[in-house]
Amino acid sequence: MILFFSASNASAAQWEVGCDQVYTTIQSAIDNGNTLDDDVINVHSGTYTEDVIVNKKLTIQVNSGDEVQLQATNTGFTVVNDSTGDGSGSTIDGFNITNSASGTGINISADNCTVKNNDITGGATGITVNGANSALIDNIITGQSETGILGNLTGGFFTVSGNNISNIIGAGLANGITVSTNGSVTDFNISGNTISKISALGVNGSVFVIQLGKSKGADGNPEMANVSNLIVANNIITQINATSAVMGMELISNSINALIFDNAISQLSAGTGGSIFALEAAIIGNGTVLVSENQISHIDTDEQAVGIVTIALGDLKLEKNLVSDINKAKASVGILGLGLLNNATFKNNSVYNVTSPSTAAGIVGVSLENLKMLHNTVMGVTGANDVSMVTAGFNTTLVEGNNLEGDGSGIGMVICSPNGTINYNRIVNYDYYIQNFLFSNFGPSIDEMLKPIDDAIKKHPELEPILKPIRDDLDKMFHQLENSNTTATYNWYGTNSPSDGKFFKGNGTLNYTPWLILNINASPSTINAGETSTITADVYHDSEGGDHSTDAAMFFSGPQVTFTTDLGNLGSKSVVTSWINGFATAILRADEGPGVATVTAADYQIVQTAVTILGSQESSTSVNAATNTIGMQETGTPLNMILLAVFIVFSGMVLKRQ
């Protein structure tokens, strides 16, 4: 049976393929002279053993409700644009394709093609694309030995959406989606894909789950993808293993704008001496790079491990990302961002549980212009040498509203900036709260770093006119980096009396007074049995009596305050609550009879207040309303290797490639 579809003056025919149909093979339906561009090849249930060549603009689809098995010797479908014809604009829809061991499921070597709803099993590669304006949608790709989706794009757009790629097991190299460009791609969109269970367990085995461009090519230089607008969003990557290196995402492009959003990357592991970069992006365009709401967790290797590393030539924004549970690596970093020319902003990111036997860092932010670190949370960064936050803005640095908590050792914050401001942060439980950067604290001194140039000048005096200006420029730059001028007033350190020894000014200036102090208040302070009192803790006042409550929106939030009472209950005798912009609340319930309740609030420092509980409502009628509140009461007090780790992280971006 032949069906004809009419649109304006053009007609399209539908050709039926299958047992008892007009054609018994897909290829014979395509090759027939009556089959023209824009026709439909409708394939009925059955198993077809053929390698199909598509050299006309066709829609090749499985009949609705049917199941079609295509068993290929080399390639299930090959869409070509060559001397035999042009398959550009074709659609392949709904097939179950089984590959031979070295085969490919679908090979697109034409433009404007769509591949959707196919189930591709086995072979070396699931789908290969060479061309422009291609869309790969809702395909299942599983059991390959090399790559799920392989692209070499010549222009236009490339959309990869809703695909499920799994069980790719290779020896030296295994890839989920890997794409290079051989032309200018306008829009690159990889969204809503799930990629799991990819392994490369041979000698020096490496996995690249989503790869656009390469940080190192065969000649040792980056292979940068030529992509104008980049979107990588809503992808799930999990259960990835390699003996040597794992890259969850590697995105190297010159994009004008880039959005890397809401990707979930977890359970990445590498063997002895291995490196893992869960999300690496180097975007060398002049627009905005937004890395937002990504969730990175459970990274396990023993050499280098980084949750997110992003380098941007334009404005860099890292917002609302969550990185947790990076384990064992000698150099472990939660988030590392570098703004090369413009500004960098880190806002509302969270890093938890980054551990290392050697060097661990929570968030490292660098901008060659202006850097802002706003309302980030870092907890549980632990190593022989650890720092929760490193900030380096070479023009200005603003660090505001962050919540940093250590394990009793390490450094809360290192700053390198000629004009640094650190306000309204929580920095608690560290050996050092804040350090100005000093090279000798983190490795070789300036003189030691310049020694190779000095030695070269002595050994080759004829080179002095060339080397001496370079040496002098480096010396000037290094000393500028060591002369940080930091205003670190109005921060909470977990104590109302921080020790001067917890601050290191280096060769610059560091003013940390006044600091914030913890207060507690009960309202009302006298209640009857069965009534409640609102207990509040805040750090709105500073050590010199200043009130900063009007700046509450600038304060930190997150863990944590512990309230206790010895009479009545707060839900129990003790309750833990989070700070909300420097303020925390609990409710005291008078349910144990009369007396005076001693209520405490603790965030390392402990403060207390009293609440009088009367026996009944009647007995309180003579109490003056003015006694129902009391004023706030105060009580007294009851870096090696970090820079080297950052260098290691950057050098670690250069991994073995294909």
| Domain chopping of the chain, boundaries | 446-482, 516-628
User: Is residue 466 very low, low, confident or very high in pLDDT (cuts 50, 70, 90)?
Assistant: confident
Q: Rounded mean pLDDT of the chain?
A: 89
Q: How far is CA 42 from the centre of its chain?
A: 44
| Buried b / exposed e along 512-535 (16+ C-beta atoms within 10 A) | bebbbbbbbbbebbbbbbebebeb
Tokens encoding 192: 């809503």
Q: Which CATH superfamily is domain 516-628 in?
A: Immunoglobulins (2.60.40.10)
Q: How far is CA 575 from the centre of its chain?
A: 33
What's the pTM value of the predicted model, to 2 decimals? 0.87
User: Is residue 460 very low, low, confident or very high in pLDDT (cuts 50, 70, 90)?
Assistant: confident
Higher-confidence position of 636 and 432:
432
Mean of pLDDT values over 51-70: 98
Higher-confidence position of 471 and 30:
30
Query: Strand 125-137 relative to strand 194-200: parallel, antiparallel, unpaired?
Result: unpaired
Tokens encoding 136: 């790969």
Question: Does the pLDDT value for residue 217 go beyond 80?
Answer: no
Question: Does the pLDDT value for residue 631 go beyond 80?
Answer: no
Question: Does the pLDDT value for residue 387 go beyond 60?
Answer: yes
pLDDT at residue number 100: 93
Query: Strand 236-242 relative to strand 403-405: parallel, antiparallel, unpaired?
Result: unpaired
Could you report the per-residue pLDDT of 75-118, keeping only the tens digit for each?
999 999 999 999 999 999 999 999 999 999 999 999 999 999 99
Question: Does the pLDDT value for residue 421 go beyond 70?
Answer: yes
Question: Does the pLDDT value for residue 616 go beyond 70?
Answer: no
460 class by beta-carbon count within 10 Å (0-12 exposed, 13-18 middle, 19+ buried): exposed
Question: Does the pLDDT value for residue 378 go beyond 50?
Answer: yes
pLDDT at residue number 405: 98
Proportion of the chain above pLDDT 70, given as a percent: 88
CB 96 within 8 A of CB 119: yes
pLDDT at residue number 479: 66
Mean of pLDDT values over 428-438: 92
User: Is residue 543 very low, low, confident or very high in pLDDT (cuts 50, 70, 90)?
Assistant: very high
The residue written with tokens 């969204």 in the block is: 191
User: Is residue 449 very low, low, confident or very high in pLDDT (cuts 50, 70, 90)?
Assistant: low
pLDDT at residue number 245: 95
pLDDT at residue number 473: 73
Give percent helix, percent strand, percent coil of the chain, each to the nearest 5: 10, 55, 35
